[in-house]
């Protein structure tokens, strides 16, 4: 099975920390964030496609062509086009069911194993301040209804953790412009897909987004607590 890791962003909210290193290569307890991601991928994953951009050569040079028996591929995202644009760029290289992950967040293998049990799914986490993230609305059966991006009045405390299990059906739906219209959001396209397909909402036990320097410091505690590597 293939995994797509989105790792093209600079991470401007990290400030000077990303002046000479891409955000997914920032270190937590001496190891790059991406190393935790790779180490926690379930055994079903045998190929990883990195979408790289800002200083992407540093990711490629560090990991090379193979990691713990998994084949590593690299595709350049030359201009920012959002999570949707990144995935559409490689749609011809994808086959069957695949998983998409953010390259700068921390995930635990048990949650990734759990989400892979479903054909179509999104990983979520229940938090106290959901308005910072994409808020997930679900039906009575635990399937996706809607994703509202940073709403002023969230309808739930479930937020999008940035992990998706998908297949080729996602490409039957149009890309949705976000922000200034130059980028396209994968969650927004998934919300369209949810009108006709059942997308399971899977709750994560461990998820830590690394948005800024403070998050990076907190990540040290997360790594020690949950033995992510």
Tens of pLDDT, residue by residue over 41-69, are 999 999 999 999 999 999 999 999 999 99
- CATH class of the region 2-226: alpha beta
Tens of pLDDT, residue by residue over 2-13, are 999 999 988 888
Query: What is the structure's pLDDT at 152?
Result: 87
Domain layout of the chain by residue ranges: 2-226
- The 8-class DSSP code of residue 143 comes to B
Taking the model in full, what pTM does it have?
0.95
The C-alpha atoms of residue 18 and residue 148 are separated, in whole angstroms, by 29
Short-list 170, 165, 24, 191, CA closest to 100 = 165
pLDDT over threshold 70, residue 228: no
3-class DSSP state for residue 221?
A: helix
> Which residues lie across from 115 on neighbouring strands?
none
């Amino acid at each position: 099975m293939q995994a797509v890791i989105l790792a093209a962003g600079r991470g401007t909210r990290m400030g000077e920390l990303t002046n000479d290193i891409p955000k997914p290569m920032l270190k937590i307890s001496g190891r790059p964030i991406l190393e935790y991601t790779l180490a926690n991928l379930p055994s079903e994953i045998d190929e990883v496609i990195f979408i790289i951009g800002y200083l992407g050569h540093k990711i490629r040079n560090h990991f090379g062509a193979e990691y713990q028996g998994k084949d590593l591929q690299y595709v350049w995202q030359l201009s920012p086009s959002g999570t949707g644009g990144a995935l559409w760029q490689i749609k011809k290289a994808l086959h069957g069911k695949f998983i998409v992950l953010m390259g700068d967040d921390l995930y635990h293998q048990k949650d990734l194993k759990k989400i892979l049990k479903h054909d179509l799914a999104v990983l979520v986490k229940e938090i106290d301040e959901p308005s910072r993230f994409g808020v997930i609305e679900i039906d009575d059966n635990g399937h996706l209804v809607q994703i509202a991006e940073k709403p002023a009045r969230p309808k739930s405390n479930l937020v999008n953790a940035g992990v998706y299990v998908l297949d080729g059906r996602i490409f039957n739906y149009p890309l949705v412009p976000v922000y200034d219209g130059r980028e396209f959001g994968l969650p927004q396209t998934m919300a369209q897909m949810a009108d006709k397909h059942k997308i399971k909402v899977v709750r994560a036990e461990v998820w830590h987004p690394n948005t800024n320097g403070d998050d990076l410091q907190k990540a040290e505690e997360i790594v020690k607590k949950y033995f992510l590597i």
